[in-house]
Amino acid sequence: MAKKPKFQRPRGMHDVLPEEQKYYQRIYDIVSNIADFYEFGKIDTPIVEEIGLFSKGIGLATDIVKKQMYSLKTRGADSLALRPEWTAPVVRAYIENGMRNLPQPLKLWYFGPCYRYERPQSDRYRQFWQFGFEVFGEQNPVIDAQIIQIFYNILQELKLKNLIVEVNSIGDSNCRPYYKKLLANYFRSREVSLCVDCKRRLRENVLRVLDCKEEKCQPIKAEAPQILDHLCDECHEHFKEVLEFLDEIEIPYNLNPYLVRGLDYYTKTVFEIFAAEGNNALAGGGRYDKLVKVLGGRETPACGAAAGIERIISLMKSQEVKFPKEPETQIFLAQLGSLAKRKSLKLLEDFRKAKIRVAESFGRDSLKAQLNRADKIKAKYTLILGQKEALEGIIIIRDMQSGKQEIVALDKVIQKMKKRLKK
């Protein structure tokens, strides 16, 4: 029986091994390209923030603040928390760095880890990665539609299939209070049938009952009053325009009157994107016009969303998404002896500067072993540099298919290989 390692990764966290890195890199490349096209600037915020930023910004009654934050006290008695989500830190950075004085709307994007202490399960980790886009200083509903479009396009460019966009409006401070009273009266009359968490949510924030995934609550939720029937004129018109924009750009969507998202700062439009075969949202977000003011800035309209990278990777694997073909390494550099090894090290660097991919096995001295390696990677050519060649300033080019060899000057080999590769 294998001995258990003395140290193991913390529960609910995972190593991103070399074979997994290609998924993160692929997602990053597509996200950054789309961010550049839509003129979003990249932002990074600290992994730790003042704990009050999240309790005030996200909401004291949310599961994130009540159950899931990793909190700590510093030696100086500061109360900090590991970042559980990105929006509140980005808003804090927007206020603290005076970004309101920059040309508006201001567009920002991010890519990095978050931390939540919750029960580990499939595609749900305690350290997980997100990317997201946020827009500040614009209240036009076209921004809501564009944020949805950006996330839908990213998932499509990742070759994911069967995507479902769900949208809703949760109103604002004008119409939501009345709707919450209606909802509270409805659920109180059926409280005995609700799950334990929903009984608590009914007291703390009744909208969160609509976010429940427990099976026993679904029939009750399905009969609840719908906020779309109780929007004020402004929210109704805003949402109508969002849907018209989505129709115009031909993004398929479903109206989900019970979609509320799990964070308190949302107003008006909210959305989530799923895959048909999964229950977990790949991406989600919406408008949060009051959050900048709540966190100490001036009232600033804002809209944004984030996506879970591990969930996207899991779907890429289950749908067997193909990656673009890697450029082939057509040249292998073999060397024999200490002088040849030193010369090869310099030659490899010259090839790198010339942007020509070259493989090598510098740790091996056997020519046979090195040629076997060249065969294994299907190199077209092997460059052979022995002690004699190194002294004479020459190198052997071997065609691996025909076996033919040519001797050329060491300082001409890059030029020679460029011509051969062009052919």
For residue 326, pLDDT beyond 90: no
How far is 288 from 310, CA to CA, in rounded Å?
25
Bridge partner residues of 408 (DSSP): 395
In this structure, of 32-46, 153-167, 270-284, the range with the lowest mean pLDDT score is 270-284
pLDDT for position 262? 65
For residue 282, pLDDT beyond 70: yes
pLDDT for position 61? 63
How do residues 52-63 score in pLDDT, each as one tens digit? 998 888 876 677
- Farthest CA pair distance, the chain: 94
Bridge partner residues of 136 (DSSP): 106, 302
How far is 344 from 385, CA to CA, in rounded Å?
7
How do residues 99-158 score in pLDDT, each as one tens digit? 999 999 999 999 999 999 877 777 788 999 999 999 999 999 999 999 999 999 999 999
Confidence of residue 5 (pLDDT cuts 50, 70, 90): confident
Q: What domains can you pick out in the chain, each with its CATH number?
A: 18-175+231-318 (3.30.930.10), 331-422 (3.40.50.800)
> What is this structure's pTM?
0.87
pLDDT for position 140? 97
Outline where 121-226 has alpha helix (H).
141-157, 176-188, 196-204, 218-222
How do residues 9-48 score in pLDDT, each as one tens digit? 988 899 999 999 999 999 999 999 999 999 999 999 999 9
Q: Which residue has the tokens 């029939």?
A: 219
pLDDT for position 17? 93
pLDDT for position 112? 97
How do residues 367-423 score in pLDDT, each as one tens digit? 899 999 999 999 999 999 999 999 999 999 999 999 999 999 999 999 999 999 987
pLDDT for position 2? 66
Q: Token pair of 162, please?
A: 């069967």
In this structure, of 152-161, 248-257, 365-374, the range with the lowest mean pLDDT score is 365-374
pLDDT for position 365? 76
CB 239, CB 169: distance < 8 Å: yes
How far is 226 from 19, CA to CA, in rounded Å?
46
Confidence of residue 1 (pLDDT cuts 50, 70, 90): low
Q: Token pair of 275, please?
A: 């895959």
For residue 97, pLDDT beyond 80: yes
pLDDT for position 331? 95
CB 224, CB 186: distance < 8 Å: yes
